[in-house]
Amino acid sequence: MFSTTIMATIVFIIAAIVMLLASLLAKKALIDREKSSPYECGFDPSESSRLPFSLRFFMIAIIFLIFDVEIALILPMIMIIKFSNLFVWSFTSIFFIIILLVGLYHEWNQGALTWTN
């Protein structure tokens, strides 16, 4: 018990020293304009390298990801019907699908599913 405590303390001290040294040595003192700019064959960039990101595309991607996870949760429910109680399985499935439909209605009502303004 005593040697485990000493060993854990030594490991903690070594880890803290390594993290402190890494944070002190890794910081850059000067921000170089050339290193932070995009490279275009040695010339200064003619346009901004930052393109505007569509928030609507991001929202559609998040909605797709959510529905993709929901499909991954619904598919095993079909396989488990043979091994579970029919009443419990039906209640769980209907409850889950109602939650999905309420979420879909909310997204539709908020206008998140419209492609154009």
54: DSSP letter? P
Kindly state the tokens that stand for 22: 């890494």
User: What is the pTM for the complete model shown?
Assistant: 0.48
d(CA 115, CA 100): 21
**Placement of tokens 């929901």 in the chain:** 70
Please name the residue ranges forming H helices in 1-117: 2-26, 33-36, 55-79, 86-110
d(CA 92, CA 89): 5
Kindly state the tokens that stand for 30: 């000067």
pLDDT value at residue 66: 82
pLDDT value at residue 61: 84
Q: What is the pLDDT of residues 20-48, one digit of tens each?
A: 988 888 766 556 666 666 665 666 656 66
